[in-house]
Structure 1
Amino acid sequence: MIRPLRLLLLALALVSSSAAAAPAPAEGNRLEQVVLLSRHNLRAPLVSSGTLAEATPHAWATWDVAAGELTTKGGVLEVYMGRYLGQWLRQANVLPATGCPQAADFHALANSLQRTQATAQFFIAGAFPGCHVAVQQRRPLGTMDPLFDPVIHRDDAPFQRRALRAIRKAEAQARLAPDLQAVDEVVEHAASPACAGRRPCTLRTGDSTFRVEVGKEPGATGSLALANGMVDALLMEDYQNATGTAAGWGRLHDEAQWQALARVRNGYQDILFGTPDVARDVAAPLLAHIAELFEAPASPKVTLLVGHDSNIGSVLAALGVSAYTLPGQLEKTPIGGLLQFERWRRESGDVRYRLVYVYPTRAQLRDALPLSDARPPGRVQLALSGCAQDGCSEVQFERLLHRAVN
């Protein structure tokens, strides 16, 4: 097994080596500006205390960082992504071919948590080795920046009632009962300390209580929220792959099991952050910021925003993005993945806006595989509502953003 520090040193050495360039954009079009909305990379899960710690008779995997913090391997993986995208952006002539980026070229802003700030720093280490490029942090470390805080903003009782109805309807339509049972079987919840003296004690649908309150994240209690936390921990353990053995105490060995667990994880995110009213309200600050970046003449050519899966999920739902799949991934908003908002200038002179999901595959995460043109990250162009296959016109994109934040 490669130890974490050795892996990080290897990643940094690869950044400095001559490597095959990322594939160039198609000829005849000119990429003018890019906004990258990224989910932080691999972090330790939140299972060391509280309800999750008591939810299984098994001991959760141990980590070498505090709960919620970016791991060393997460830093390595982000170096690889930064290196790949830095090369791609240089080939597209959005960034200077040589030297360090200036303020007009690149800017990074990350939520003020350790995992998001560290992710941005490792991205920069990969994209611009040897350069001093600062990451903007607008709040004290450990507190949420309002731009990335996925909270309800509307203090409006009819809105909150409408949002709760939509969330409950989304839960019913998700039909997660068989998948919750699959989680139950892996973690052996019935034999856990939390179930002592309680019979029956199972993960099931219909026992969730949801909340939509101003100033707080959409939330849930009950089996769905508990199962989501457990699946998150198992996914992080699988990505970390510290022992080279199957995650979940050797009980997760079947792809059908992983698919069931992924449906719980993805379903939870869609239920809480994917209904239209909630998504538009939660994502409004980020979408307004992205709109401003494209509208302001002085904006950098490339902007990196590092947040969370709830940010990406709510942005996609607020924009009305069509259903999509990410080949090689279980998660709809995977660790280390990012939304790439692109503004292109066509030969005719008109503009097209495109939205692309760039993400590491599950194998690339587990095996810490460097990214290159021979082994690129996943790349899926997303369909934007009311726009053609080659993207949105300026008017269409402005209308799309306006509808999403109003």
Structure 2
Amino acid sequence: MICPLRSLLLVLALGMSTATATAADEQLQQVVLLSRHNLRAPVVASGALANATPETWPRWDVGAGELTTKGGVLELYVGRYMGQWLRQAQLLPATGCLQPGDFHAHANSLQRTQATAEFFVAGAFPGCHVAIEQRMALGTMDPLFNPVIHNGDTAFRKRALLAMQQALAASDLAPATSVLEQITRYPQSAACTGRSDCHLVLSDTTFSAEPGNEPRASGSLALASGLVDALLMEHYQGSGIPREGWGRLNNEAQWKALAQIRNRYQDILFGTPEVARDVAGPLLARVDVLLNDQASPKVSLLVGHDSNIGSLLAALAISDYSLPGQYEKTPIGGLLQFERWRDRHSGVERIRLAYVYPTTAQLRNAQPLTEAQPPGRVALRLPGCAARGCTVAQFQRLLHPAAR
């Protein structure tokens, strides 16, 4: 058991109603959920982030990168809401524990992802024993969720690096980095010692796309993204961080500027189409198998990371979307929801995709997700498909573009 509070939180998983009803002419057949882990501690205790500000970062009660106690509570709310949504949609039994073939969970082999899966299950299926698949030793990346480059071809590497460089060149992040410098007091930090005119200049950024490794950036872009990530985690932590940004981060315009850095960083590294298809290849294959194998569970939960969700969306050519109430494009606790529906009359099946996510306010204020306060839900339009979703054949062409 990774999260010792699970048994204490099970009592919270009772008594919630959900707002979604199944359409009269369609029946939900299957759901595949790809989740980002919930609230974790940032990595600021030492190294570049610690040296990038003269201020002292707040202390956290868990290790760097680990799911926090509040993150467990927030994920339990997500699981509780989704469990009741799936029951109301008549995909899972209305009462009692699960039957064989109903549900399967597989999480990356890190503390924050395994713990997230445990809290989801505790919320969705209180009092029931549901195993979480862990394929690797704790602390070791599972190949399914490891967002690494697989293609070792030199020409591919050159195209990938060029695409990243072009994406950076097309980004106007100077106003946003100026806001970040003011909040962190970067020019007065240890990183700027001995430099009279020290700033986060994105032109110093270099990229790498080596097989077996994640796409990476070094220089100011990576540092700025890491600083924003740490500030976002503190924001979600809420009451434990009384003076955000050491008292200098206090309005919506600042948050929108910071989010632009973080979102653009993810898009540059994982959002170019060819890189995305390569990095997300294992997850795309898993989704393909789950949605086409008659032996697949009715509900599958895959718990990974923002890079998994971002690369998978880019691989499916879904880039132009927004999540109302959220700063991040791939927020913590958010779920990509692949749904397979069958028309009751014609028998035709369609695949739909939605992003279900806690809003920033729900995360910060630890609001339970209920019928009165549901999570955000945005239907994502799959390219080449009607608003009501893709036919199975159309979805197959999205998953296998080379076969078109």
- TM-score normalised per structure 2: 0.96
Residue pair 1:44, 1:65 contacting (<8 A) in 2 also: yes
| Matched residue SS, 1:64 | coil
Match of 2:96 among 81, 96, 99: 99
Aligned residue runs from structure 1 range 113-152, under 5 A: 113-152=110-149
Partner in structure 2 of residue 285 of structure 1? 282
Correspondence for 2:257 among 257, 260, 268: 260
Supply the distance in 2 between the matched residues of 1:405 and 1:188 (Cα, whole angstroms). 52
CA spacing shift, 1:230–1:322, aligned 2, 3 Å: closer
1:175 corresponds to 2:150:
no
Cross-structure match for 1:378: 376
Conserved 8 A contact 1:181-1:204: no
Is 1:71 paired with 2:103?
no
Distance 1:405 1:262, change over 3 A: farther
**CA separation in 2, counterparts of 1:29 and 1:339?**
21
Find the residue that maps to 1:107 and give its secondary structure: strand
Residues 181-200 of structure 1 aligned to structure 2 (within 5 Å): 181-200=178-197
Aligned residues of 1:238 and 1:366 also touching (Cα < 8 A): yes
3-state SS of paired residue (1:183): helix
Local SS of the residue matching 2:17 = coil
> How far 1:254 moved relative to its partner?
1.3
Alignment of 1:383-398 (within 5 A): 383-398=381-396
**Alpha-carbon distance between aligned partners in 1 of 2:12 and 2:402, rounded to the nearest angstrom:** 41
Pick from 16, 24, 34 the counterpart of residue 21 of structure 2.
Answer: 24
Contact in 1 for aligned 2:235/2:241 (Cα 8 Å): no
Summarize the Cα distance change of 1:11–1:244 in structure 2 as closer, same or farther, 3 Å threshold.
farther
Cα distance in 1, alignment partners of residues 289 and 240 from structure 2: 45
The partner residue of 2:37 within 36, 40, 44 is 40
Residue 241 of structure 1 aligns with which residue? 238
Query: How much has 1:242 moved relative to structure 2?
Result: 3.3
What's the CA shift string for 1:93-133, capped at 9, x where partnerless? Answer: 11111111133000000000000000000000000000110
Amino acid at match of 2:386: A
For residues 299 and 201 of structure 1, the distance between their equivalents in structure 2, rounded to whole angstroms, comes to: 55
Deviation at 1:285, TM superposition (A): 0.3
1:25 is displaced (CA, Å) by: 2.6
SS at match of 1:79: helix
- Which of 330, 337, 340 is residue 340 of structure 1 equivalent to? 337
Give the count of matched residue pairs: 401
The 5-angstrom pairing of residues 73-92 of structure 1 reads 73-92=70-89
Kindly provide the amino acid, as one letter, of the partner of residue 346 in structure 1: D
Contact 1:281 1:405 in 2 (8 A): no
Unaligned runs of 5+ residues in structure 2 are none
Task: Tell me the residue number matched to 1:251.
Answer: 248
Q: Which runs of 5+ in 1 are unaligned?
A: none
Q: Could you tell me how far 1:181 is from its partner in structure 2? A: 1.1
Listed one character per residue, the Cα deviations across residues 157-191 of structure 1 (whole Å, up to 9, x for unaligned) are 00000000000000111211111111111101011
Report which stretch shifted further, 21-30 or 47-56: 21-30
CA contact (8 A) 1:22 1:85 kept: no
Give the aligned partner of residue 300 of structure 1.
297
Taking the aligned partners of 2:89 and 2:209, their CA distance within structure 1 comes to 43
Q: Summarize the Cα distance change of 1:405–1:253 in structure 2 as closer, same or farther, 3 Å threshold.
A: farther
| Structure 1 residue aligned with 2:201 | 204
Q: 2:357 aligns with which of 356, 359, 373?
A: 359
Q: 8 Å contact 1:360–1:377 — kept in the other structure? A: yes
What amino acid is aligned across from residue 87 of structure 1 in structure 2? Answer: Q
Retained in 1: the 8 A contact 2:29–2:340?
Answer: yes
* SS of 2:87 mapped into structure 1: helix
Using the TM superposition, give the Cα deviation of residue 5 of structure 1 relative to its aligned residue in structure 2, in angstroms.
Answer: 9.6
Alpha-carbon deviation of 1:382? Answer: 0.3
2:81 is paired with a residue of what secondary structure? helix
Match of 2:210, SS state, is coil
Distance 1:405 1:202 in 2: 47
Residues 107 and 304, structure 2, Cα contact 8 Å, conserved in 1 = yes
Indicate the percent of aligned positions where both proteins have the same amino acid: 64
* Residue type of the alignment partner of 2:117: A
Aligned alpha-carbon RMSD (Å) = 1.7
